[in-house]
Structure 1
Amino acid sequence: MKKAMIYGAGISGKSVIKLLEKNKWETVLVDDKIGVSSTDAVAYLEGVDLFVKSPGIPYNDLIEKAKKKGIKVVNEIEVSYNYMKKTSKTKIIAITGTNGKTTTTSKLAGLLNASGIRSIAAGNIGTPYSEAVLEKEKYEYIVLELSSYQLENLYEFKADIAMIINLAPDHLNRYRDADEYYDTKFNVGMNQNSKDKFIINIDDLEITKRLDRINGEILKLSLEENTDICVYENNLYFRGEQITAIDNFSLKGRHNLQNMLFVVGTAKLIGIDNNVISNFLENTNSLEHRMEDFYTYKIKKNIVKFINDSKGTNLESTIKAIGAFEKPILICGGCDKNLELTPLIEKIKKSVKEIYLIGELAPKLESKLLSVNYPKEDIYTTKTLEKALITLEKKIKNMDGSKNLTVLLSPATSSFDQFKSFEERGKIFKKLVLEKFKEES
C-alpha cells in the first residue's frame, strides 16, 4: 500500500485525504492541532511515497527534510488532477490573476450551468478540487480558481482553457520578488499544447512580457484594443462577432467589465448561445464581500452607506475600491505582506476622507501616511475592527448638517492576523454595522 503524508488539516487537506483513501493509500495527517505535530512528523517520513502540502503552509524544516529524502512534494491540485484524468472526461478551466479570480470563476460556472452545461466552481473559491473530482461524473466542466500558492508544486496538471486576468504585486512575504510571484501564476498554463486555449489580458504589461511561457493557443483580451475579445462602441466582440451590448450588465465598473470579457470569451470557446450570455450578464448578482453595498443608515438628514469589500486583499483591489466612491471613509489593514505601500498611500492621501487602521499592518500604514502629510486628525489607529466601528458610531451619531458618506471596508491585505478568512472578516464587519447602526423605529 502506498503511503502519503498530508501536511495541513484545512478544507483541502481533509478532502484530499478522502480522495487518497478512496484510492487505497495509507495517509498520515500532520497538523499541530489535530494530527501528528510537524516536529514529530519527521519520524514518520520513512516509507512515505508522496508529500501533500497545503497551499498556505510555508516551506519549513519538515518539507525540506521530505525533499532531501527524495519524497515528491505536491499539492491538492496535482493529486486531484491525476485522479480525475485517469477516470474522467471532465474538462478543466483554470483561472488565476491577482484580482477578479473569484468573480470570474463563480460567474463562468454560473453561466455554464445556465446554458445547461453541468459545472462547478472549485479550488480557491471554497469547494476543494479534490471534493469536486470525487463527484466528477456530475460535471462536464470544473472551473478552478487557483491562487499562486496552489500553482506551486505542480507536475502533470493541465487545463483545457487557462487564463490570467491581471497581475500586481502580492504575497511578497512568500516570494523573493514580484517577478517570482508573476512567474508562478503562469503555471496555470503548464503542460498545455496547441489544442488547448490560453486567454490573456494584453492591457497588462507583466502578462505580455511573459508570452513566451505560453504553449497553448493564445486568445488576446483587451479593454483598449481591437483584438480577439474586446469592447467597441459599447458592444462586446468575440473574434469579430458582436456578442452583446454592455450597457445593461448588472455588474458595474471597469474591473467587472474586464472579468466579464473573460467569462464571455470562454463561453464562446465552449459554444454558448449569445442570447443565453446576454440574459445571464444582465441578471447576475454581485458576490458577498466584493464591493457589497449591504446597508444604508439614515440619521437626521445624513445618509451613510456601508460597503463590504473584505475580499480586497491586495493593494490594487483596494485602490480600485477607493476610486469607486467620492471621498470614502476607509477601514484598512491586516497582515503585513512586505509590499511597497506607496501606490496605496498616494491614493489614500488623494481620495480618502479619513482612515481607520486595523491589524498588524496598522502602525506601518500610519507612519507612511504621516510621512506624506496626510492629516493626523483623520487617522484613527484602532487596531481592531470592533474598535473602528465603536469610534465611527460615536462620530456618525453626533453629526450635524446634511451629509452623504460612504464607509468602505477594503483592507488591502489578507485577514489571518485577526480572522480565519476574508469571509469571516466581512461577516463580522456586517454584523457589527447592523448592531451599532440599527435605525430606531
Structure 2
Amino acid sequence: MLTNEYVKRVYDQVQKRDGDQPEFLQAVYEVLDTLQPVIAKHPEYEANGVLERLVEPERVIKFRVAWVDDAGKVQVNRGYRIQFNSAIGPYKGGLRFHPTVNEGVIKFLGFEQILKNSLTTLPMGGGKGGSDFNPKGKSDAEVMRFCQAFMTELCRHIGQFTDVPAGDINVGGREIGYLFGQYKRIRDEYSGVLTGKGLEFGGSLARTEATGYGLCYYTQEALRVLKNDSFAGKTVVISGSGNVAIYATEKAQQLGAKVVTASDSNGYVYDPDGIKLDVVKQIKEVERGRIKEYAERVPGAEYHEGCAGVWTVPCDIALPCATQNEINEESAKALVAGGCKVVCEGANMPSTPEAIEVYKSNGLLYGPAKAANAGGVAVSGLEMSQNSYRLSWTFEETDAKLKSIMESIVAASLAAAKEYGEEGDLMAGANIAGFVKVANAMVAQGVL
C-alpha cells in the first residue's frame, strides 16, 4: 500500500505515462512500496526529484532490424536498447531475443537492473535491450545475419565506457560472438563492449555458470544466516532448462541437494531420483531440443504438459529460473502445500505480487530476483575488469569473487532492512540497499 504522498504522486505519474506496460508498472510499484520508509527519512531525495528521475529512462532507443532468411525473404524485427540510469557507472544489462519482447518488458528489466547492478557493489548503471526475434528454429546463418543487422544499428549507441550489453534469454555464446564480430568490423576496434564473450576473445571463466551458481550461493548464505540451514539433503524444484536453470541445478547438486525437475515452455519433467544434468545439457545445449526428450531417455522420469505444474511437485526449496510472472497466487499456494520453505529467484521477476504475498504470509524465506540472480551481471562486471587489465583470472579466482559478492548482497540486504524497520525482509532490504547508493549518486551529480 502506497501511503507516502511523494511516492504516490510518482507512481500515479508512471501509471498515466506507461499504463500500457504492465510488467514495468509491477516492477516500479514493488520497489516504490518498499522505499517508503527511506523516502520519509531522506527529504533530500524528494527535493532533488530522485524518484521522478529514477522511473524515467535516460534514453529509449527503438530501431528496425531488417535481415534476409535462408529462403531469400526479407524479415523485419524490432530492436530496443533502454539506457535507464548511469549514476554509478556505464549502462549494463543483457539483450533478450524473444517474441514477447516489447518496450514495456525491456523497461521493467532495465529498471530492475539499476538496483541489481548497484547491489553487486561494482560500478555499473542499469540498461537492457533486445528484440522480438526468435532464434529457435533458425539456422546458424540466419541467426548470424540477424545479429549482424541488429548490431549495425546498436553499435552507434554502445561502447566500453558508455553501455556494455550482455546476454539474456536466447542470447548465449553464439549470439554474443556474432554481435561482437559485427561491432569490431564496424567500429574497427577491439574492446570489452560486450560481456559473455568466448574465452578466445576476451570472455571470462565462470561467466556461463555465474547466474545459476550465484543464485545458489545467495540461497545458501540466506539459509545459513536466517535459518541456520543449507542445501544439504533438501529436495529442490527448478523451472527452466536454459543457462540459469542448468547451472543452478549443477551447483545445488554440488551443495548436497536433490533437484527433481526441469521445464521449458511446453511442459516439465519430474525425476524422483534427481535430474541427470548430462542429459539435460545434451538436449538443450547441444541438440537445442525440448525437455520432454529427457523422459524418453531416462527411465523413471515423467513428462507433463504445461509448465505451471512444476510448482505442484513437493519440495523444500523452489528456484524459479524460467521467465517473468511464472508463479502466480495459485502456484505459490501449491508450493506451500507441497512443503516448500524457500523461494529464491533465478529469473527476472518470476513471482507475481499475489505470489509474493503468499510467501510472506506463510513465512517462507524469499530471495528476490534483483538480489538472488545478480551473479550473472556480477561476473559480467568482472569480465569488464579483466578486459580493462588485458588479463584473465582463473575459474577458481572468479568463482570465489562471485561467491563473495553474493554473500555480501545478503548481508547488505539484511542490514538495510534492519535499519529501516523491515528486519529479515530480503526483498525490502535489496530494494533499499540498491536504491540508496544510486540515489546518493544522483543527488551528488545534480539534476540531470
**Which structure has the highest strand share of the two?**
1
Higher relative contact order (CA 8 A, sep 6+): 2
TM-score if structure 1 supplies the norm length? 0.35
TM-score if structure 2 supplies the norm length? 0.34
**Which structure has the highest helix share of the two?**
2
